[in-house]
Amino acid sequence: MESARFGNIGSMEQFTLAVDGSGRILLPAKVRKQLKLKKGSALIARVNEEQLVLQTRSQVLREVQEVFSRYRPKGGKLLSDELIADRRREARRELER
C-alpha cells in the first residue's frame, strides 16, 4: 500500500489514504501516535452524505456530553438528581406510614 501524503488546509492536517483489496485503510504512524491509538483501539465511523468521519470513543463522548449539556438547567442541578431526591422522599414517606 502506498504511504500517506500529508498536507494542511488552514489549521487542519489532511492526508491521503489507500483502501486495500479487503476494504481496509491504514492510518499512518504519525496519526496513530497523535491520537494515542494502540493496536485494537476502537474508532467510531460515521458517514455524512459522501464524507467518512472517524473519531475516537472519547471524542464522540465529548460531543454527546456537549449536546446534552444544553439541556442542563441554569442552576446546574441535573433533572436526574431532582428525580432521585423526589423518589427518596417518597420512599421515606412510605416507610413512615
pLDDT digits (tens, 9 = 90+) for 57-84: 889 999 998 898 887 777 777 778 889 9
Domain range for 28:
5-96
Report d(CA 42, CA 31) in Å as an integer.
14
Report d(CA 15, CA 27) in Å as an integer.
10
Asked if residue 26 lies in contact with residue 32, where contact means CB atoms within 8 angstroms, the answer is no
Quick one: pLDDT at residue 91? Answer: 95
Quick one: pLDDT at residue 23? Answer: 94
Quick one: pLDDT at residue 13? Answer: 81
pLDDT digits (tens, 9 = 90+) for 22-47: 999 999 898 899 889 999 999 999 99
Which residues pair with residue 13 across a beta bridge?
8
Quick one: pLDDT at residue 3? Answer: 54
Report d(CA 86, CA 73) in Å as an integer.
17
The CATH number that applies at residue 50 is 2.10.260.10
The residue assigned the cell 460531543 is 63
Above 70 in pLDDT, residue 7? no
Q: How many domains does the chain have?
A: 1
